Chain A
Amino acid sequence: MGLDFTGIVVVAGNYGSGKTETAINLAVACRRTGMDVNIADLDLVNPYFRTREARIPLEALGIQVILPDTQYMFADLPILAPAVADIIRQPSDLTILDAGGDDVGVTVLGALASVLQDKPVRMLQVINAFRPFTGDVAGCIKIKQEIEASAKLTVTGLVSNANLMDETTGSHIHQGYELVKSVADHAQIPLEFITAVPGILTERDLAHFSCPVLPIDRKLLFPWKRTLKT
């Protein structure tokens, strides 16, 4: 069971569901299989904890990172780098668009509608069962509908990113998996993969899941932890 992503993949979801961590780690996992990967930060909504913070390690792996101009890096302005349209017109093996949170965060995709037209686009909705508003099926479906209406794109698959950060246990990952599986059944779209920090899941856990597991190496760390990591 491997991850199978090519073309343009939009990563969406509600605020703080872990879109950026998921997008970054998906880019890394696909790059390691030899694919050409680029990733664009479309998060125009929230100026903290964005793809731009992980730029250096991603570029070191040969992943092209599209960000606003450096001079606007810390502006809370809705700036879309012109290069984003270019990478959509000529996608590499895998082009990941890391969108902002909620329906507001994907509004920007509407501005890209003309370049996205006629391109096969997949849009993933990332769900963390332990975040406000997405703890049950109804909440997740509501967010899905809002995102679709705003992005003018259909959510084609779901991702469970169940976590309580450092306090995450295997049980949390199971709970998230069960929830997102129910959402997937309800919406009749696939649960594409779940995420887990390595070491949390046992072999027995892994056998239980009907989808791949994306290993997460947290890139966006708190300043008091950043340098403790080796």
Chain B
Amino acid sequence: MAKVLMKGNEAIGEAAIRAGCKNYFAYPITPQSEVAEYLVKRLPEEGGVFLQGESEVAVGYMIFGAAGAGERVMTTSSSPGISLMSEAISYIAAAQCPAVFVNIVRGGPGLGGILPSQGDYFQATKGGGHGDYHLLVLAPDGVQEAVEMTMQAFTLAEKYRGPVMIMGDGLIGQMMEPVEFPDDLKTEPTNKDDWATSGMDFRKSKKRNLVKSLFLDPTALNDNNLALKAKYEQMKKEEVQFELYNGDTDYQILITSYGTMSRVCRTAIDMLKEDGIEVAMLRPKTLFPFPEKAVFEAACKDSCKAVISIEMSMGQMVEDVERCVKGRRPVEFYGECGGDIPSPEKIIDIIKELL
């Protein structure tokens, strides 16, 4: 298929269709409403359903219901909406159902603003809802990657039978870039019949499936948490994705940055190179599992004097970076989170202060 020009939000919608998602439930919120606007036109053409819930709380449980029945299902929202869905996300993780959540992050806390932000890093990677669970979190840096990650998200959700999140920011959702769609996702044989409440007649089975998150027996609850933990450990081994930019040089500074912010850092690195200053960037593409080993190794390169995490937040991912660097290099931070995105010049000034 030839390239088309798409907004991130539209491209995520189209990618879901190509991943075989026929169920999309959502509630509108800036800056991601175009996903719904796109899918309300496209899904009926594919025999799918878009249903607007009466709130994000309702949408969270609509997702749980469809996922529990073994359907490919997605919702999209932005920060306050994800907060409202977080209870359902915890239930879905506990009940081990595959579902895709997209958070096109806006400024917070509270109602915040409608401009881009990365202030939901903690929410996405450390909780949001209650209990011992994790989301597998993918963070695209542009429209093309948003497409690829959305399609991957469905595969990963089914592989791990759990919720997967795409974490973009307002700019990823709103900007347009030329994009090419990979081949449609094949429907692989799954073990859905073993657990999904798709109907005994439908499955031609006499076995009753039960999807639940309530385990009153302490041993059963502990076993369920151990099963979840085993999945997260497997993710850490098999699903870590990252990019090391300008890493083959004798860089003096290592930037850690992701999403939109990493695009600005990339430009700053190219401009610094012209001045003879080598800086590298480690860009996590999975925020959970975090590229722990890669961050440690990149920070410990002999030429590297310091690490700086640059984020559109007040300092969230930097805590993971510090954890991974293990005190071997100083870890600095720079962030803005009102909605204005720091310019490449600003980043250059910050880096020069570190030299």
- Contact present for B114 and A76 (CB under 8 Å): yes
CB closest residue in chain A, given B177: A165
Alpha-carbon distance between A131 and B264 when the two chains are bound, in angstroms: 26
Nearest CB in chain B: distance from A60 CB, A: 20
| Contact (Cβ within 8 A) B267 A164 | no
User: Chain B residues with Cβ under 8 A from A16's Cβ?
Assistant: 5-7, 10, 176
- Kindly list chain B residues whose C-beta atoms are within 8 Å of the C-beta of A225: 267
**A contact residues around B343 at 8 Å (CB):** 223, 226-227
**Stretch in B30-38, B50-58, B94-102, B238-246 touching the partner:** B30-38
**Would you call the interface of chain A mostly helix, strand, loop, or mixed?**
loop
Indicate if A1 sits at the interface (CB-CB under 8 A): no
B5:A48 contact, CB within 8 angstroms: no
Do A165 and B34 have beta carbons less than 8 Å apart?
A: no
**Residue B168 interfacial (CB < 8 Å):** no
Does B30 contact A76, Cβ atoms closer than 8 Å? yes
Interface centre among B34, B174, B176 (most CB of A within 10 A): B176
Within 8 A of A (CB), among B264-300: 264, 266-267
Contact yes or no, B267 A74, CB < 8 A = no
Check if B3 sits within 8 Å of A167, measured CB to CB. yes
User: With an 8 A cutoff between CB atoms, is B311 at the interface?
Assistant: no
Q: B10–A164 contact, CB under 8 A? A: no
A165 in contact with B171 given A74-B113, A223-B343, A224-B264 (CB within 8 Å): no
* Category for how many chain B residues contact A: 20 to 34
- Chain B residues lying within 8 Å of A22, measured Cβ to Cβ, are none
Shortest distance from the beta carbon of A51 to any chain B beta carbon, whole Å = 15
A49 contacts chain B at the CB level, 8 A cutoff? yes
Q: Is the CB of B341 within 8 A of A223?
A: yes
Contact with B along A9-52 (1 / 0, CB 8 A): 00000011000000000000000000000000000001111000
Contacts of A78 in B (CB 8 A): none
Contacts of B177 in A (CB 8 A): 165
Cα separation A35 to B242 with both chains bound (whole Å): 53
Q: Are B339 and A222 in contact (CB under 8 A)?
A: no
Q: Out of B4, B14, B30, B264, which one reaches A223, CB within 8 Å?
A: B264
| Pairwise interchain contact B263-A224, C-beta atoms closer than 8 A | yes
Q: How far is the CB of B265 from chain A (nearest CB, A)?
A: 8
- Residues of chain B within 8 A (CB-CB) of A130 are 3-5, 178
Confirm or deny: B115 has a beta carbon within 8 angstroms of a beta carbon on chain A.
Answer: yes
Asked if B250 CB lies within 8 Å of chain A CBs, one says no
Does A163 sit at the interface, judged by CB under 8 A?
yes
Kindly state whether residue A56 has any CB partner on chain B within 8 Å: no
Chain A residue, CB-CB nearest to B11: A132
- CB-CB contacts of A92-130 with B at 8 A, as 1s and 0s? 000000000000000000000000000000000000101
Chain A residue with minimal CB distance to B142? A222
From B10, B37, B176, B339, contact of A165 by CB (8 A): B176
Chain B 228-270, CB within 8 Å of chain A: the 1/0 string? 0000000000000000000000000000000010011011000
Name the 6 nearest CB pairs between A and B, nearest first: A48-B174, A223-B341, A164-B178, A76-B30, A224-B263, A224-B267
- Give 17 pairs: A residue, B residue, CB < 8 Å, sorted on A: A16-B176, A47-B30, A48-B31, A48-B174, A49-B175, A74-B113, A130-B5, A132-B10, A132-B14, A132-B38, A133-B41, A135-B4, A164-B4, A165-B5, A165-B177, A166-B178, A223-B343
Given contacts A48-B174, A164-B5, 7 further A-B contacts (CB under 8 A): A16-B5, A16-B7, A47-B114, A74-B113, A164-B178, A165-B177, A224-B264
